[in-house]
Amino acid sequence: MNPSDDKEQSAFIVAAPSSSSGKTTVALGLMAAIKARGIQVQPFKAGPDYIDPAHHKRICERPSYNLDTWMMGDSPVKETFARAMEDTRVGIVEGVMGLFDGKGGGLAGSTAELSKALDIKVILVVNAKGMAGSVAAIIKGFEEFDEEVKLAGIILNKVGSERHFLILKEAIEANCKSPVLGYLPRDESIAIGERHLGLLGTGESNIDIAALAEMITTHVDIDELIKVTAIEEKDSADRVTPATLDSVSIAVAQDKAFLFYYQENLEMLEALGAKLLYFSPIADYELPPTADAIYLGGGYPELYASELEANKTMRRAIKEFAESGRPIYAECGGLIYLGESITTKEDETFEMAGVLPIKGRMLDRRKSLGYREVKVQKGSPFMDEGETIRGHEFHYSEIELLEEIKKVRTTDKDELEGLLYKKTLASYIHLHFASNTKFAEGFIEAARKCQPLKG
C-alpha cells in the first residue's frame, strides 16, 4: 500500500448468475464512481478477455490484469493480484460468465474458483427485470451452492422504479443473508454495444461513463460496499525469473487492428530483459529498426483489411523480417495478417503480409471458442518438445492451407496446430505465458541468438 494512505484495502469480484446480467456495466460504474472520490482503483478481469480490460484501463488509468486459475494456476494468479494491489486501495475484479461457470461445466477457471484462490468476496449483480419475490430464490441458491464462496452483497440491475426496488429488497432481506447494497435503474442509455468478439472497443463504445458513475453514486451505498469487502493486505511476491538474459528488442503490433494482449505477457517479456517497441501495421511504414523479434497479437484485421493492404511497405518489411530467420510470434488476428489474404463477410478479398501459405475467411458464425492446452512437438522454436502451455481460442474466421506447412503443437483435442515457417510461429490460440514461463524465455532467447543479423 501507499505509505501515505493508512486506510485498509478493499477488494471484491463483481459476478452474476449469468452473462448479460450487467456485470460489466456495474463494474465500470463502480470503478468510475470510486475513482471519482480520489481513491486509486486497480482493475482486474476474470478469465480470457481483452476488451473489458481496455475499458478498465481507460477508466482507472492503469493496466487491468487478467486472472484465470485454469490458464495461470493459483500461485501466479495470487502473485499477479498481490503485485498489482501494492500501491492501491481498492481492487475490482470483473467476473466472467455466471459465478459458477467454468471449463466444461465444472468450476475450473470460474469466477467462484478465483474468489476462493484470492480469498476475496463477491458482489452479485442480479438482473431483476420482470421479477419480484423470485429474486430471493436466485440469491439464496447462490448463497448456499458453495458456502466457501462468500457473497458480500447484492446489486440489482434493470430495476423498474423505486417501488420495484423496495419490493425486491424486502423479499431478499426476508429470505437471504446477503445485504442489498443498491441498484441500477432500467436505462438503455447505459447499455454497452457489442460485436462478435464481445463489447465494442474503447474508441467505439458510446457509453457515458460519467453518467454511469453518477447513477452508481446515487443508487449504490459505496461506503458500505468498501466496508464489507475489506481485505488483509496481500503479501507480494516478486516473479521468479532466470538469470538475466542479454537485452533484446521485441516489436509489438499495437493499433486498432491489433490490440489483444494479456498485460501479464507483456510485463513478463520485460521482466525477462526484453525492450518492447510498439508499432502500427496500419500507420507505420517500417518496423522499429532495432527489433530482434515481432509479436503480433489478435484483434480485428478484418475491419481494417483495406488499410492493412494499402500499407505495402509494412507488409514487405514483415515478410523480409520473416525470411531473414528472425523470430515472429503471432496469435489469431496476427495469424491472419501473416497469410496471403483475408476475405471479409462481404466477400471482399485483401492482400496480407504473405509470410504463411494460408488464406483467411471471415464467417457469419463463431468457428471456435474455448480453453486450450497445447503440447510442443519436435522442431518448435521457442519451447522444448513435450512442454505444455495453456491459452484460449475465440474466432469467427477460418484458414485454408495453400500448401503443406510444418505444425509443431498438438491441442488437448489431439489436433496438430501451430504453423511454423523458419522462426515464425503462428496460431489461433492466445497463450497465457504465466501458464509456462519457458515460452517467454524461449522467445527471447531465439531473438537474442539472431542479434548478429542487425546492422
Q: By the 8 A CB rule, do 48 and 394 touch?
A: yes
CA–CA gap between residue 108 and residue 117 (Å, rounded): 11
In the chain the first and final C-alpha atoms are separated, in Å, by 45
Q: Does the annotation mark 176 as catalytic?
A: no
3-state secondary structure of 253: strand
Question: Please, which residues bridge with residue 295 across strands?
Answer: 252, 329
Asked if 175 contacts 136 with a C-beta cutoff of 8 angstroms, the reply is yes
DSSP string, 410-445: EETTS-EEEEEETTEEEES-EE-GGG-THHHHHHHH
Is 192 within 8 Å of 24 (Cβ atoms)?
yes
Instruction: Give the C-alpha separation, 312 to 297, whole Å.
Output: 20
Distance CA 183, CA 165 (A): 7
Annotated catalytic residue within 60, 176, 332, 450: 332
Handedness of CA 44, 2, 62, 192 (dihedral sign): positive
Residue 407 vs residues 381, 383, 446: alpha-carbon distances, Å = 11, 14, 18
Q: How far apart are CA 329 and CA 442, in angstroms?
A: 11
Indicate the DSSP class of residue 179: P
Q: Helices in 329-390 by DSSP H: which ranges?
A: 333-337
Give the strand order in the sheet containing 349-351.
Answer: 349-351, 341-343, 358-362, 397-401
Bridge-based pairing of strands 10-15 and 90-94 is: parallel
**CA–CA distance, 73 with 62 (Å, rounded to integer):** 24
Active site (catalytic) residues: 332
